[in-house]
Amino acid sequence: MKHIKYARTFEVSQELPKKLSGLQELVYNLRWTWDHETKLMFKSINKVLWTESNHNPIALINNLTSKDLMSLQADRGFMQQLKSAHKNLQKYMRAKSWFENQFPEANSNEKIAYFCAEFGINECLPIYSGGLGILAGDHLKAASDLGIPLVGVGLLYSRGYFRQFISPDGWQQEKYPQYNYHEMPIEIVKSENGQPVQIHVDFPDRRVFCRIWKAQVGRISLYLLDSNVLENDHYHKSITDTLYGGNEDMRIRQEVILGIGGMKALKALNITPAVCHMNEGHSAFLTLERMRQLMELNGLSHHEARELVSAGNVFTTHTPVPAGFDLFHNELISKYLIKVLNKLHMPFDEFLDQGRFNEYESDGLFNMAIYAMSNTNSINGVSKLHAKVSQDMFHQKWPNYSIEQVPIKPVTNGVHVETWVSNRMSKLFDRYMGDSWRDPSTDSSIWNAIYDIPDAEIWNIRENQRADLIRFCRNRAAKQQFHKPKAGAILDPRVLTIGFARRFATYKRATLIFSDIDRLRSILHHSEKPVQIIFAGKSHPRDDGGKKYIQEIVKQIQNDDGPQRIFFLEDYDMNIASKLVQGVDIWLNNPRRPLEASGTSGMKVLCNGGLNCSILDGWWAEGYQPGAGWAIGDEEEYSDPGYQDWLDSLSLYNLMESEITPMFYHRNTHGIPEQWLKMVKKSMAILTPAFSTGRMVKDYTNEHYMPANNAYQYLNKEDRKHFYQFKDWRDKLYQEWQHVVIRSVEDQSGNRVKKTDGFNVNAEVALGSLNHEDVCVQAVIGKVGVNGELNDTHAIDLSFESSTDGVFRYTGFIECNASGSWGYVLRVLPKHSVMNSEIHLPLAAWEQDAFFGSNIEHGLSSEMKLVS
């Protein structure tokens, strides 16, 4: 059948009576996704419609009849709910924010643009696949709470990420529904004449047009580009079709649209960001368009524009393995970017060098992470361990630095507590902490009030939330083809419940717990201390290894003849994630260390009274504390994966048998597990505020956004006078650096120092024609390894004292706080008051020409034994 295309379009929407006008603002501001009061109000309108719409308030309202609307107006209880929810939203939007108090001099028009390939705001807006998107959504919500002047930029995928269905034999099937975003809580951005705002990006074969949609996330606007417009042919309409779908050619098209198109969209909206945050390398091409706009406006060269842009860029890497980065063949880069590069007058080879570790990789692939790092003011990993892993991965980009001094810093991920905490638990917090726990600017010590909550109150909530989860699983079981038709025997609301839900990548070892199936079944079906496990998660469509893990879990479910103690929840999304993190007693995470960059799902159980049992990887490597959860194994990493799996499975079984189940089932005379709840309280009080996006976004603002903003503003003001001064300063340093020499070093350590004591270090440094204000002299201190290398290093700045005839004297104090064999070596680095010299000017002069391979191999000016 031939389809008829439209010539003109118009929109039909539900017209709300004046008395219900507040609903319009509530449904289109996604703050309702973390406001229990508003969600309960939506649910009260029509519980069935609310569930069937996948919690989409636009679909809910559009399906109401005139009679329904009249009934709502006549319902005093509902009208009071509506008035209260609307008033709270307006109060939230007008309240003075943390950012305004912290940075009163900041210009709110100088936006921070947060670019990401996916955003997980709510299950009703399916433009996310997993952890990266959920983190991005939580980032926007926390930025809204804190009042950060931030906008989000992403893509609007017409078919989203795939929907998962498990066949009777346990094999994952993928379906891609076509979504109608006119029926979702987003709106097309229109110009003053009422027409949709469009931008275009020039591809080699044609010009591609995109319209812009806006999702309002509290105070934050999220702009989403959509290529499914009439002006494009079928192939180019499909660019924003599926998330992470298609081949390499489609991937680079998406990333050109996200980066270059995203910057064009901001310009079309009269937004000129001072800072651009590249959340992973997918959006890194934004640098090219940002350069083009600066060159066009100010008549700059591409070299000048690149330096200015880099001053205002921030890059976050999320991947702990080289294979995880986007790589493109040079031919593909040329095909899609040569026109852009010609407009910038940038030689193609010069551009390629920015995406390589070094200039000798002429035959290598273009690495998007390396390109982002080459054009940024700061770089961060997403946990302390991940930052260390990344320093090792990217060390060759900074060959003059030790691995531990590679300029990649950690900003550990967090979760948006209000989004993930249950309604029951949030009401409990309100009673004992007031409203302050909701405010991310509140001091974390407020969470100590958790210790004052009676055990019985927390336990009652935990029992009810577990029962809610089991009820949810039983309802889902009836719709899942692969489960046996015995829904009443599925799971038990009184049994210790473990949750395992995440992307089914093979390194996450979803089936580790099945290593000894007989031992596992004895744990699951214990007569007095039984256990049940709920799994959920999707495998990438092309990852058969991950799909086999799912199939193995399904087979274990089907082979269990007793009460069903293993369950798999099909089609994992944010709704299922919420049910799981609120209901499980234990969150299980057992990746192969150190391949988990951070992980955030385990953070979501903290505020809900669940406990973590995890490998010491990602966030848990720094979050684990005895008495606040369990660690599987230790920090040892073995080269034999089979041996590693065997050791970790033994540790997991031992924990379950000897610690977890006995503590859970040991009850006092009132039926309450006192020791278990003691651990729950410690986990909630200490870890919840530490691993929240409130803390995370404040870290980004203080350590990355504002320094980048200050650098960008500094270099751009007064006709870029400071920029040209910086260029002259940088050129001078490159010319004079060969003359920077550490002449002498003296200390009073005597090779043996008492613990808690310290000693002075004095150094003489020749700087050629440079001044002491141009450099920073540091003592790099660490533990001495078996081959004389320094490990676990940190740097202490020495203070300038005086100078004579070009020789500069510095002094510093080294504290000794731990016993062992320690050493130090001096180095000189460039220093600028605003710019991040470690990235923009990676020069270093080391004492005795210290050589770096995997570690410092010589150049120790002093080695000392620290004794008690």
Using alpha carbons, select from 112, 391, 402 the residue that is nearest to residue 278: 112
Tell me the C-alpha distance between 360 and 382, whole Å: 30
Tell me the C-alpha distance between 216 and 225, whole Å: 15
Tell me the C-alpha distance between 843 and 808, whole Å: 19
Cis ω for the linkage preceding 594 (within 30 of 0): yes
Tell me the C-alpha distance between 286 and 283, whole Å: 6
Which position has the token pair 């234990």? 586
* Distance from the Cα of residue 191 to its chain's centroid: 33
pLDDT at 852: 45
Confidence of residue 802 (pLDDT cuts 50, 70, 90): very high
Which position has the token pair 């993930």? 420
Residue 710 carries which side chain, given as an amino acid letter? N
Q: How many residues does the chain have?
A: 868
Of 213-217, 576-580, 609-613, 754-758, the least confident: 754-758
pLDDT digits (tens, 9 = 90+) for 357-367: 876 666 679 99
**DSSP code, position 421:** S
Average pLDDT score over residue span 16-23 = 90
Structure tokens at 294: 């600066």
pLDDT digits (tens, 9 = 90+) for 518-536: 999 999 999 999 999 999 9
pLDDT at 364: 77
For the chain, what percent of residues have pLDDT higher than 70? 95
Tell me the C-alpha distance between 118 and 137, whole Å: 8
pLDDT digits (tens, 9 = 90+) for 313-355: 999 999 988 878 999 999 999 999 999 999 999 999 999 999 9
Tell me the C-alpha distance between 408 and 406, whole Å: 6
Average pLDDT score over residue span 544-573 = 91
Is residue 862 within 8 Å of residue 408, measured between CB atoms?
A: no
Beta sheet of 758-766, edge-to-edge order:
741-747, 758-766, 807-815, 799-804
Is residue 311 within 8 Å of residue 377, measured between CB atoms?
A: yes
Q: Has residue 403 got a pLDDT over 90?
A: no
Q: Has residue 817 got a pLDDT over 80?
A: no
pLDDT digits (tens, 9 = 90+) for 141-155: 999 999 999 999 999
Is residue 764 within 8 Å of residue 752, measured between CB atoms?
A: no
pLDDT digits (tens, 9 = 90+) for 86-124: 999 999 999 999 999 999 988 877 899 999 999 999 999
Structure tokens at 338: 């040569």
- b/e 370-392 (16+ beta carbons within 10 angstroms → b): bbbbbbbbbbbbbbbbbbbbbbe
* Phi, psi values for residue 788, rounded to 5°: 85, 5
Average pLDDT score over residue span 438-454 = 94
156 three-class SS: coil
pLDDT at 866: 40
Mean residue pLDDT across the chain: 91
C-alpha distances in Å from residue 752, one per residue of 16, 203, 222, 748, 863: 80, 66, 59, 10, 9
Using alpha carbons, select from 685, 720, 707 the residue that is nearest to residue 305: 720
pLDDT at 436: 92
Structure tokens at 110: 């100088």
Higher pLDDT, 267 or 856: 267
585 three-class SS: coil
Tell me the C-alpha distance between 430 and 527, whole Å: 39
**Residue 176 burial by CB count (10 A; 0-12/13-18/19+): exposed, middle or buried?**
middle
Is residue 775 within 8 Å of residue 843, measured between CB atoms?
A: no
pTM: 0.94
- In the beta sheet, which residues pair with residue 277? 114, 314
Average pLDDT score over residue span 799-808 = 92
Average pLDDT score over residue span 594-611 = 96
609 φψ region: left (φ > 0), alpha (ψ -120 to 50), beta (else): left
Residue 8 carries which side chain, given as an amino acid letter? R
- In the beta sheet, which residues pair with residue 675? none
* Dihedral, CA of residue 254, residue 259, residue 261 and residue 263, to nearest 10: 160
For the chain, what percent of residues have pLDDT higher than 90? 78
